[in-house]
Amino acid sequence: MIEVYIDGASAGDPGQSGAGIFIKNNGDNYSYSIPLGMKENHEAEFLACIKALQICKEKNYSVLSFRSDSQAVVNAVEKEFAKNKKYRPLLEQILLLSKEFDLFFIKWIPSKENKRADELARKAIHLNIEDPDE
């Protein structure tokens, strides 16, 4: 089973944002810092999940265990419903992508267990600032 730690961060709400993705696969680790441009914090969290699913699809993974410290994302995915209408299209993308895998789990974890993904998301914020065209 592939363990995927995800986090979104925003410098302001909205502000420059980034996604942090840390993947553990049988002793191999992969780290991603993806700049997202101007987004709200919750948007960045949902987009981090989408980006991680896309990466897992490219890598042909089949059994995924996602971990996030975002209760908004975890609850929305588990209930297949987002209270805020603004996030429903993002949730729909997550649900569609997640169905392309043999097994997909998502679990809430405390922030202290998601430090690597958080560091990667914060690094991605600075990548926006260094190259605002991306």
28, two tokens: 């191999």
For residue 91, which amino acid is it? L
| pLDDT tens, residue by residue, 59-97 | 999 999 999 999 999 999 999 999 999 999 999 999 999
pLDDT score for 13: 87
The closest of 74, 78, 8 to 43, measured between CA atoms, is: 8
Kindly report whether the global pTM for this prediction surpasses the value 0.75.
Answer: yes
For residues 17 and 25, what is the distance between their CA atoms, to the nearest angstrom? 26
Using a pLDDT cut of 90, give the percent of the chain over it.
93
The domains found in the chain, sorted by start residue, are 2-111 (3.30.420.10)
Mean pLDDT of the chain, nearest integer: 95
The closest of 72, 71, 67, 75 to 117, measured between CA atoms, is: 67
Q: pLDDT: is 133 or 8 the higher one?
A: 8
> Is pLDDT at 129 greater than 90 in this prediction?
no
Q: Out of 5-19, 36-50, 73-87, 119-133, pick the least confident.
A: 119-133
- The residue to which tokens 């993002």 are assigned: 90
2, 23 contact by CB (below 8 A): yes
- The residue to which tokens 């560091």 are assigned: 119
- In angstroms, the Cα distances linking 11 to 83, 97, 123 are 24, 28, 11
